[in-house]
Chains A and B, each alone.
Chain A
Amino acid sequence: MSQALDDRSESIRMIRDSAGAVAPRGGDTKRVRALRFTDPGFDKGVFAQMGELGWIGLAVAEDAGGAGLGMSEAVALTEEIGAGLAPEPLIPAMLSARLLAAVEDKALLAPLLEGGKVLLTAWQEKADTLAVHGTSDAPRVFIPMAAGADAFLLPVREGNRIALHALDAAGADVVLERTMDGGNVGTLRADLSRASRVADDVGAVLEQALDEAALATAGHMLGLMEKAFEMTLAYLKTRQQFGRIIGTFQSLQHRAADLKIHIALTRAAVESAAAVLDSGATGAVRQAAVSKAKARAAESGLLVLRQCIQLHGGIGYTDEYDVGMYLRRGMVIANQYGSATLHRRRFMALAPEDVE
C-alpha cells in the first residue's frame, strides 16, 4: 500500500518536473503573449512536444501506446499547464485520445499520441452541458482551439448507440470566435458525407472521457489559482502605500488567508476525486467525485482569480501585468465541461446522502 503510494507520488513528481520544460511555472509569459489572437492560437511544435512527452496519451493504456498513468498524474500535469498558461489544447486532445484508444480502428490514434495531428472531438451541441446528443445535423459548438484542428471526431447518435466519425478539418465549415485569453473556439457544421466512420459505439467511453476532461480542467483551474495567488502574495510583500508594506494591513492579510483556504479546498477536492477515479470507480461514484471537484474549482477558482486582481489594485487591471491573464484563462475554462451550477446539480442528483 505505502509502496504503491510512494510510486504514485514519484510518478506525480516526475510529471510535474517534465511539465516545467514546456510550461515553466516561474517563466515569463512572452511565448503565451505572442500567441494571443493569432491563428491557430497555440504552437503546434509545443503540441508535438507534449505528445513526445507522453502527455496526450497519459491516461491511455501502455499497450495502446499511452503512458498508462492515471488521473492523479493527469491533474498534476494540467495544474502545471495552468500555472504556466500554456494555450495548447492538451485536455481536448487527451479526451480524443481516450476515445480513439477504445475503438478497434487505431489508425488515427498514433499521430494524435505523437502530437503530430491535432484531433478535437466535436461533441457539444449547446452551452453548459455534459450530455452527448449526437444529433447528426446539429452544429457542434465551443470546440476549443478549433483553429488548429487537423481533424474533428464527431459522435453521432444511431438509436441507442453513439457512432464515431472523423472529418478532415480542411474544407470543413468552421466558424471561429475569439476567447478572452486570446485563444479561440469553433462552431462546426459538419457534412457527414465527407466524414469517415471510425467506430459503432463510443457512448460509454465518451461519457467517461468527458468526466476525466472535467476533472483535468479542475486541475488546470487549480494551477491558475496557485500561480495567480503566488504572484499576489509577492505583491503584498513588496508594494508600499502610506509608508508601509500593504501586506501588513490586516484586512488584506485576512482576505489572503481566505483565498488560501479556497485553494486548499480545491486541491483537496481535485486530488481526492482523482484518487477515486484511479481506484476504478464507475457510474454515480465517479460522476459525483468529478462534479464535487469541478464545482469547487469553477467557483473558488474565479473567486480567487478576481480577488487577485483586486489585491493588486490598478496594476492588476492592466493587460501588461500578468495576473490578469490568469483571470482571463479562468473565464475560458470555468464552464468548460460543465459550470459550477451544472456540477452542483449533478452532484446533488447523484450523491447518496450519507445521513444517519
Chain B
Amino acid sequence: MVSIAPKETQDLNQMEDEAFRLHVRQWIEANYPADLRNPPKRLHWDENKPWYFKLAEKGWLCPGWPRQFGGLGLAPAKQIIFTEEVERYGCARTNDHGIVMVGPLLINHGTPEQQEYFLPKILSGEHIWCQGYSEPNAGSDLAALRTEAVLDGDHYIVNGQKIWTTLAMDANWCFLLVRTDKNAKKQEGISFLLVDMATPGITVKPIINLEYHDEFCEVFFDNVRVPAKNLVGTPNRGWDMAKALLSFERIYLGSPRLSAYAFTRLRQLAERMGVWEDAAFQETYGRLRLDLEDLKSLYGVFVDKLRRGETLGADVSMLKVFQTELFQRITDTMLEIAGENAGLLEPMEGNRNLNPTGLYIQARPATIYGGSNEIQRNILSKNVLGLPG
C-alpha cells in the first residue's frame, strides 16, 4: 500500500465551512504574489513557480487527492470552497496538469510503483506535466488520434505528432494518448503512456496564438523509446480513462469566474468611456447581469450535486456552453463600447483593468477548447435529450 505523508498535518475537513473559508482566504492573501492577481495571460512556469512552491510547501497543492497520497483529502464541499477562494482572489492557474489529471489518473489506475515514483514528484514540483491529447487530424474527433506506440521488447516506440499541447515547453513530463491497436474500433485501441520529455526524438515547437502568446505547442515524436512500465492501466483501455478524467474539466469550464471577471471589467470600461448612464448600454448590461446571475444559479445546481458526492452527468455540458458564450457576449459588448480603442494591442492607458481587446481575444478559444461548443451540443442532444444518431 502506497503511503505518502501529507505536508498539511491538520485535517481541514474538521473545520466549520466558514472558518475554513476564512482560513484559506487569509493564507492566500498573505502568500499570493500581488502583481500576479488576475493575470491577462496564462502564466509560464518561470512566472508561476513561486506560487506552485508556496502551495507545495504548505501541502495545499492537491486539495482533491486523498491524504494517503500526500493530498489534502478535502471533502467535495470543502474543495468547492477552496476553489471559490482561489478564484475570488484571482490566483493564476498553475501548471496544473500533474495535479488535476495525472495524479487522479495514477491514484485510480496506476501501479504502486508508478504511484510511488510519480506522485511525490508532482507534489514537490519536480515534475511538471503536459497533456498530449489533440493531433492535427484529431481535434473534436479525438478518438481518431494516430500517434502510435509499438511494443519493442520492454519499450514502446512512439511516432507521431500532438498539437495544442498547453505549456509543453514548460513541462518535463507528458501524459500521452497513443494508438496501440490499429485494427480495433477507434476508441478501443488507445492507451495512456507517461513520457519523459527529455527522451531523444521529442521536439517541442511553440505556437503563437491570437493573443501573440506562446501558450500552446506542437510536440513531435520521432522513434521515441518509452519504457513499457510507463503504460497506465490496461493496454487499449486508455479512452475510458481519458473520458473519466474530463469530468473535472467540464465543471471547471462552466465556472462563472471568467464571465464574472469580464463583467466587472465591462462596468469599469463603460464608466471610462462615458456610456455607463446610456440607456441602450444599461439595457444590454442588465441582460448580461441577469445572464450571469442565472449562470451562477445553474452552476450552484451542479456544485450541490458534487457537494453531495454525486458524479455529474452529460448535462454539465450546458454550463460549458452557456458560460463560454456569455463570456464572449460580455467581451463583444466591451469591444462595441470601446470606440477606436477596440483596435489597440495593449490595455488602454496602461491600465490592466481597461483591456477590452485582450479579453475579447481571450474569449475566442473558450468556445473551442475542452470540446467545442458544437461538440457539447452534440453531447447534449444525444446523451441528455436522447435524440437519434
A14 at the interface (CB under 8 A from B): no
CB proximity of A57 to chain B, nearest CB, Å: 29
B381 at the interface (CB under 8 A from A): yes
Q: Are A292 and B290 in contact (CB under 8 A)?
A: yes
Find the residue from B264, B287, B384, B385 having the highest chain A CB count within 10 A: B385
Q: Are A269 and B297 in contact (CB under 8 A)?
A: yes
Q: A268-B300, A355-B267 are in contact. Are A248 and B388 (CB under 8 A)?
A: yes
Stretch at the interface among A21-29, A93-101, A254-262: A254-262
Contact with A along B306-318 (1 / 0, CB 8 A): 0000000001001
Contact with A along B362-376 (1 / 0, CB 8 A): 000000000000101
A289 to B381, CA, bound (A): 31
Q: A254-B374, A261-B322 are in contact. Are A295 and B381 (CB under 8 A)?
A: no
Find the residue from B285, B297, B389 having the highest chain A CB count within 10 A: B297
A172 to B174, CA, bound (A): 81
Q: A344-B286, A347-B290 are in contact. Are A260 and B297 (CB under 8 A)?
A: no
B294 at the interface (CB under 8 A from A): yes
Residues from chain A with Cβ under 8 Å of B170 in the complex? none
Q: A250-B378, A268-B301, A347-B290 are in contact. Are A261 and B387 (CB under 8 A)?
A: no
B293 at the interface (CB under 8 A from A): yes
**Residue in B287, B376, B380, B388 whose beta carbon sits within 8 Å of that of A247 in the complex:** B388
A356 at the interface (CB under 8 A from B): yes
Residues from chain A with Cβ under 8 Å of B287 in the complex? 344
Contact with A along B276-299 (1 / 0, CB 8 A): 000000100111011001110110
A253 at the interface (CB under 8 A from B): yes
Q: Are B315 and A345 in contact (CB under 8 A)?
A: no
A126 at the interface (CB under 8 A from B): no
By beta carbon, the residue of chain B nearest A270 is: B297
Q: A237-B388, A248-B388, A348-B286 are in contact. Are A254 and B381 (CB under 8 A)?
A: yes
Residues from chain B with Cβ under 8 Å of A272 in the complex? 297, 300
B321 at the interface (CB under 8 A from A): yes
A220 at the interface (CB under 8 A from B): no
Q: Are B387 and A247 in contact (CB under 8 A)?
A: yes
A185 at the interface (CB under 8 A from B): no
A264 to B389, CA, bound (A): 24
A56 to B320, CA, bound (A): 40
A292 to B297, CA, bound (A): 10
B386 at the interface (CB under 8 A from A): yes
Q: A254-B374, A257-B380, A345-B286 are in contact. Are A268 and B298 (CB under 8 A)?
A: yes
For this complex, 12 residue pairs linking A to B, each with C-beta atoms less than 8 Å apart, are: A236-B387, A245-B388, A248-B387, A256-B380, A256-B385, A257-B321, A260-B384, A260-B385, A268-B301, A344-B287, A344-B290, A355-B264
CB proximity of A293 to chain B, nearest CB, Å: 9
Q: Are A347 and B286 in contact (CB under 8 A)?
A: yes
Residues of A whose CB lies within 8 Å of any CB of B are 233, 236-237, 245, 247-248, 250, 252-254, 256-258, 260-261, 264-265, 267-269, 272, 292, 295-296, 344-345, 347-348, 351, 353, 355-356
B21 at the interface (CB under 8 A from A): no
Q: Are A248 and B290 in contact (CB under 8 A)?
A: no
A268 to B318, CA, bound (A): 12
Residues from chain A with Cβ under 8 Å of B293 in the complex? 269, 292, 351
Q: Are B290 and A296 in contact (CB under 8 A)?
A: yes
A347 to B282, CA, bound (A): 12
Residues from chain A with Cβ under 8 Å of B267 in the complex? 353, 355
B377 at the interface (CB under 8 A from A): yes
Q: Are B290 and A256 in contact (CB under 8 A)?
A: no
Residues from chain A with Cβ under 8 Å of B378 in the complex? 250, 253-254
Find the residue from A233, A268, A348 having the highest chain B CB count within 10 A: A268
Q: A268-B294, A269-B297, A344-B287 are in contact. Are A253 and B387 (CB under 8 A)?
A: yes
Find the residue from B285, B315, B381 having the highest chain A CB count within 10 A: B381
Q: A257-B321, A348-B289, A355-B267 are in contact. Are A265 and B388 (CB under 8 A)?
A: no
By beta carbon, the residue of chain B nearest A263 is: B318
Residues from chain B with Cβ under 8 Å of A260 in the complex? 318, 380, 384-385
A332 to B238, CA, bound (A): 54
**Residue in A252, A296, A356 whose beta carbon sits within 8 Å of that of B264 in the complex:** A356
A172 to B276, CA, bound (A): 50
Q: Are B377 and A258 in contact (CB under 8 A)?
A: yes
CB proximity of A82 to chain B, nearest CB, Å: 19
A66 to B389, CA, bound (A): 51
CB proximity of B128 to chain A, nearest CB, Å: 30
Q: A257-B321, A345-B286, A348-B289 are in contact. Are A264 and B315 (CB under 8 A)?
A: yes
**Residue in A233, A268, A292, A296 whose beta carbon sits within 8 Å of that of B385 in the complex:** A233
Residues from chain B with Cβ under 8 Å of A264 in the complex? 298, 301, 315, 318
Q: Are A257 and B388 in contact (CB under 8 A)?
A: no
Known: A237-B386, A253-B378, A253-B387. 14 other contacts (CB 8 A): A250-B378, A252-B387, A254-B381, A256-B387, A258-B377, A261-B318, A265-B322, A267-B301, A268-B294, A269-B294, A272-B297, A292-B294, A345-B286, A348-B289
By beta carbon, the residue of chain B nearest A288 is: B293
Residues from chain A with Cβ under 8 Å of B301 in the complex? 264, 267-268
A345 to B286, CA, bound (A): 7
Residues from chain B with Cβ under 8 Å of A257 in the complex? 318, 321, 376-377, 380-381, 384-385
Residues from chain B with Cβ under 8 Å of A250 in the complex? 378
CB proximity of B367 to chain A, nearest CB, Å: 13
Residues from chain A with Cβ under 8 Å of B290 in the complex? 292, 295-296, 344, 347
Find the residue from B264, B318, B374 having the highest chain A CB count within 10 A: B318
Residues from chain A with Cβ under 8 Å of B318 in the complex? 257, 260-261, 264
Residues from chain B with Cβ under 8 Å of A353 in the complex? 267
A254 to B381, CA, bound (A): 7
Residues from chain A with Cβ under 8 Å of B282 in the complex? 348
A180 to B387, CA, bound (A): 32
Residues from chain A with Cβ under 8 Å of B315 in the complex? 264
Residues from chain A with Cβ under 8 Å of B388 in the complex? 237, 245, 247-248
- Ordered nearest first, which 6 A-B pairs have the shortest CB separation? A253-B381, A257-B380, A268-B297, A268-B298, A257-B377, A247-B387
Q: Are B385 and A265 in contact (CB under 8 A)?
A: no
Q: Could you tell me which residues of chain B, from 73 to 124, have a CB within 8 Å of some CB in chain A?
A: none
Q: A261-B318, A348-B289, A355-B264 are in contact. Are A254 and B377 (CB under 8 A)?
A: yes
A55 to B181, CA, bound (A): 63
A347 to B387, CA, bound (A): 37
A219 to B267, CA, bound (A): 32
Residues from chain A with Cβ under 8 Å of B384 in the complex? 257, 260
A25 to B287, CA, bound (A): 32
CB proximity of A168 to chain B, nearest CB, Å: 42
Residues from chain B with Cβ under 8 Å of A292 in the complex? 290, 293-294, 297
CB proximity of A298 to chain B, nearest CB, Å: 11
